[in-house]
A and B are shown apart, each in its own frame.
Chain A
Amino acid sequence: MTSPQLEVLLQTIIAGLLLGGLYALIGIGMTLIMGVMKIINLAHGELMMVAMYIAYVLYSSFHIDPYLSVFLAAPVLFLLGVLLQKYLITPVLRVDAIIPENQVILTVGIGMVLSNVAAIIFSSDYRSTPVDYSTKAWYLTDIWKGSPIELSLSMPWSVSFVFAVLITVALWFFLAKTDLGKSIRATAQDKDAATLMGVNVGFMRIVSFGLGSSLVGAAGCLFIPIYYLYPDLGGQFTLIAFVITILGGLGSTVGAIVGGLILGVFESLTATYIGMGWAPVGRFVIFVLALIFIPGGILSLFKRRR
């Protein structure tokens, strides 16, 4: 491999890993909801879209940096998730219906309303937050003068990635160390046993839906400096989140991180070597392959060997 080719390959993989970190954050939100509620939230991407519009409005009217709006958008999304769970999803869980997938269809309805309302308020134009550091980057040759190859690290991408890692670590700490986190994990593992141990399952569901929403909301704020925004963007990210959860194994947080990174790198590779338009197809090829060959997710491969 000649050095320009190697450069392109390495650069693609770096871009993929940075993208994957953000994907992981979206995937964790989905997997948390799926693990605790046993339902698939098909409005996941739309919730992210809502957070992105919050960040956009804060930037365009008050010049608040998108990275700071994480601290506002995440709580708002938490509240939105709680309200959705309490007033729409919980009643449906109680309704007796022929089709068992009613909740999934319900979330589709929620997603439709959210993206349509966004289209009415903000029109269907593409938006972005043109922050002044958006084109800044760090170069390898600046640090190591004699480097045979040239690599660059985009500043907003790296900052978003670092944020995503910090949020993930904080979430891990919350789930592993706090009482509330432990109760959520108990609910995910065995709802009935958790109830017997005195865990308020209904409350845990509401909290985890809110938490999942605020995670994807945070991901939205991290995405907006490097991405553009339009009302129909949600559907695409819902599918990404779903592919990640399948790839990582259902309800597994570590799996979602691994799945996010793999998907990010794979998409980056398809975009570089096959063409931008095909990246979404590559995503689904991974999805279908994962369904056929590793239905338990990537991590199940390691478990089987043990």
Chain B
Amino acid sequence: MDLKKYAPFIILGLLALLPLTGISTYMLHVLIIVIMWSVIGMAWNLLGGYCGQVSFGHAAFFGMGAYTAGLLYEKLGMSAWWGLPISVPVVTVFALVMGFIFLRLRGPFFALGTLAMGVILRITAENLTGFTGGDLGIMIRERTWVDKTWYFYIILILAAVTYYVIKKVVESKLGYYFVAIREDQDAAESLGIDTTLYKTIALCLSAVITGLAGAFYMNYMGYIDPKVVFALHDISVVTIMVVMVGGVATFSGPIIGALIMVLLAEVIRSIPKLGMAHHTFFGILLIVIIIFLPNGIAGDWPKLKKIFAKGKTA
């Protein structure tokens, strides 16, 4: 029991020591991407898994964070790292506006509203060529560090803080409100929970964390364009997949999911002929997971265990 309680700290400690072991740059890169995706997954999980508001438009927040960082660099000549703190108010305001419009919608309609929002932002970024650079995107010409170690520590800290904040929120009264809204919005409302307020809180928190990951992405990759950061399939849907595969409404789910998804993507892309078909693999994986493990690997762990135990005895 104790081991379970300390597991996050042990994992965090081991990860923090990893760059000292002389791990290859490529492995470090993959790890950074895994951690970044688990941050986005945790953010989505707060809104989708706990509060039950399935968003198909997290690319909107991700891209907004990335563009905040990129535009600060491009237009104001500031370091793109300022994007991390400054994206917080920008994304919050955006999430409030979005929440005002879309949170009155329920279930699938909220999902589609957010999906539309992601597409609107992509098209806007593509067309406002004077402001965003359009399809050419934004490129940071001088990188902060050539070495990836510091990027690794920054995203690791971001992930640790995200994990802590989300755990605290979910285990507080707020978290119970979220779950109540997910389970039955009318019942929650009749018990005196201001559902719109709490849904807005969940949305803003989720959006801000995703925006931070986006701002980090700008700094780390050094190049963004609308098709990359506002991508429907490669960002919004992969975000959902990270959580669905790992486990909806679990703390470890998004981390497991990010690990599986990123490694899978790397493996598929490294095989030359299969590289083009990676959406097919993702799509089939998504379909299989939804049909057989609807609560993800962490959520359906007891079920999985049973299947494996049966396999052994048989």
Contacts and interface: CB of A to CB of B under 8 A. Distances in A.
Contacts, number: 127
A106 B295 contact: no
B81 to A, nearest CB: 31
The listed residue with most A CB atoms (<10 A of its CB), out of B49, B112, B244, B286, is B112
B304 interface: no
Contact of A96 (B49, B54, B111, B294): B294
Given A99-B52, A277-B126, A116 B108 contact: no
Contacts of B126: 277
A108 interface: yes
A223 B248 CA distance: 40
Contacts of B283: 109-113, 116
A237 interface: no
Query: Which size bracket describes the interface of B in this complex?
Result: 35 or more
Contact of A119 (B56, B276, B291): B276
A291 B117 CA distance: 13
Contacts of B105: 291
A288 B101 contact: yes
B290 A92 contact: yes
Interface in A262-306: 275, 277-278, 280-281, 284, 287-288, 291-292, 295
A239 B56 CA distance: 12
Contacts of A116: 276-280, 283
B248 A112 contact: no
A294 to B, nearest CB: 13
A105 B286 contact: yes
Contact of B286 (A106, A281, A284): A106
Contact of A109 (B116, B123, B284): B284
Given A105-B244, A280-B119, A95 B279 contact: no
B41 to A, nearest CB: 14
B279 A115 contact: yes
A41 B185 CA distance: 24
A82 B121 CA distance: 35
A112 B280 contact: yes
Contacts of B109: 246
A100 interface: yes
B8 interface: no
B248 A109 contact: no
A95 B290 contact: yes
Interface stretch (B29-37, B194-202, B232-240): B232-240
A109 B113 contact: no
Contacts of B214: none
A291 B101 contact: yes
Contact of B54 (A99, A112, A246): A99
B224 interface: no
Contacts of B248: 97-99
Interface in A218-277: 235, 239, 242-243, 246, 275, 277
Contacts of A288: 101, 116
Given A112-B283, A284-B120, A291-B101, A101 B107 contact: yes
A102 B294 contact: yes
A287 B102 CA distance: 11
Given A101-B111, A280-B123, A120 B276 contact: yes
Interface in B122-155: 123-124, 126-127
B6 to A, nearest CB: 27
A233 to B, nearest CB: 13
Contacts of A176: none
Nearest to B100: A292
Interface in A178-208: none
B83 interface: no
A112 B237 contact: yes
Given A92-B291, A108-B56, A100 B233 contact: no
Interface in B58-117: 101-102, 104-105, 107-109, 111-113, 115-116
Given A277-B123, A284-B116, A284-B119, A112 B111 contact: no
A120 B283 CA distance: 14
Nearest to A97: B294
Given A92-B290, A106-B286, A277-B123, A113 B54 contact: no
Contacts of A99: 48-49, 52, 54, 244, 248, 294
A169 interface: no
A227 B286 CA distance: 31
Q: Which 6 A-B pairs have the closest CB atoms?
A: A97-B294, A112-B283, A109-B286, A113-B283, A116-B279, A101-B54
Given A97-B290, A106-B287, A281-B127, 16 more contacts: A88-B291, A92-B294, A98-B182, A101-B54, A111-B283, A112-B283, A115-B279, A116-B279, A239-B115, A239-B119, A242-B116, A277-B123, A277-B126, A280-B123, A281-B123, A291-B102
7 contacts: A92-B290, A99-B52, A105-B244, A108-B237, A109-B290, A116-B279, A281-B120
Interface of B: 48-49, 52, 54, 56, 101-102, 104-105, 107-109, 111-113, 115-116, 119-120, 123-124, 126-127, 182, 232-233, 237, 240, 244, 248-249, 276-280, 282-284, 286-287, 290-291, 294-295, 299
